[in-house]
Amino acid sequence: MSEPLRVADGLYGVAVTDTGISKSAVDGSLTYRGYEIKQLFEKATFEECVYLVLEGRLPNRRELDAFTTDLKSHAALSRETQNLIGTLPADGHPMDVLRTAVSSLGVTERSLPAREQQISLIAKMPAFVANCYRIVRGMPAMEPRPDLSQGANLLYMLKGKLPSDFETWAFERELILYLEHDVNASTFTVRVVASTLADIYAAATAGLAALKGPLHGGANEAAMEMLLEVVEPDNAGTYVKDSLAGGKKIMGFGHRVYKKVDPRAQLSKQLLKRLLEEQGKDDKLYRLADALERAMWDAKTIPANLDFYAAPIFYSLSIPIHVYTPIFAASRMTGWIAHYNEQLMHNKLFRPDAVYVGPSDLTYVPIDKR
């Protein structure tokens, strides 16, 4: 083989596969299976979008009913899964607990047919996220209710009480926005694992591991901590200036694809405003986020990303900050599974090359002579 092609660090600008699942573009557009995100955000249910991303087309009424029934029948966690979660220390981050719990399904559900394994993984994510938070903190486990949607169930189990219709609707909008995003870091990770022909649990666990980092899914929790630190909209300019001067990255800003606008952030920004109005709350959190967004744009022309505006929405829904990234994962599980399946349709093992820049021609020296 001739010398390998040295591509950009971080695979910047490199296409690693073909995909028919979603398309994000530098002009600030995003489609799932050909549908513009704004239409899905405004009109679809979360379950419809899950079906769309997984199956490649929107379901009719009968198909959606059957799909939803299937999800509900797999939504509860087994006693052994709950017991496993209960053995983990109370200060464990819910994302680490979630990764461990999801991985355990690779043992307890390994004999299910492949399609049922995937439905079960998607269906269990709300109970996983809520109970990975609750059980390790000594709170009673919550069971999903058969009369609630995935989003309503997740909110209900997290908070221990039924959310209002508007809260459920708002929360499900964020789940739709988090559902899928072509070959981001965690999805690429899933595709690499799939390419080795490892099972879906191995791939999903690897996806969760990649999502946790603050440059990816972990940014929504970091963004909320920042909003709480800045407190006043008038502090935004100084905060951004000082952070950049100190070489600090500001979480919830910047994106590999969207250099001017992240369409998901702008939809979320409008939603935050509406949610605060519906709740009869002061709009200070909205004004604070808006001030930080403007300050960052003025300082470095870097736009807010989805994580930046999802964070204050979750905060306004009284969701504990440490489950923001697990919530991202609960939704993205569907995208990961769609990519796992697509990878296997035309599989080629991911095995890149590297340019070796280390030392050579060294002579081994016995240990006692070093």
**Contact set with ligand ACO (CB under 6 A):** 10, 215-217, 219, 249-256, 300, 302, 305-307
Whichever of 59 and 218 has its CB closer to ligand ACO, that residue is 218
Handedness of CA 360, 361, 364, 370 (dihedral sign): negative
Beta-carbon contacts of 86 under 8 Å, excluding residues fewer than 6 positions away, are: 135, 136
Q: How many Cβ atoms sit within 10 Å of the Cβ of residue 195?
A: 18
CB closer to ligand ACO, 109 vs 180: 180
CA distances from 51 to 40, 60, 149 (A): 12, 10, 14
- CB nearer ligand ACO, residue 216 or residue 322: 216
Query: Between residues 97 and 211, which has the closer beta carbon with respect to ligand ACO?
Result: 211
Output the smallest distance, CB 293 to ligand ACO, in A: 12
Tell me the sheet residues that pair with 36.
31
Q: How far is the CB of 168 from ligand ACO (least distance, A)?
A: 22
Q: How far is the CB of 109 from ligand ACO (least distance, A)?
A: 28
**β-bridge partners, 35:** 32
Q: How far is CA 1 from CA 4, 5, 7, 337, 353, in A?
A: 8, 11, 17, 34, 11
Residue with smaller CB distance to ligand ACO, 265 or 337: 265
Q: Which residues are catalytic?
A: 255, 307
Q: What is the DSSP string of 228-251?
A: HHH-SGGGHHHHHHHHHHTT---T
Give Cβ neighbours of residue 212 (< 8 Å, ≥ 6 apart).
95, 96, 99, 218, 325
Shortest distance in whole angstroms from residue 259 CB to ligand ACO: 8
Gap between the Cα atoms of 329 and 55, Å rounded: 19
Which one-letter DSSP state was computed for residue 257? Answer: S
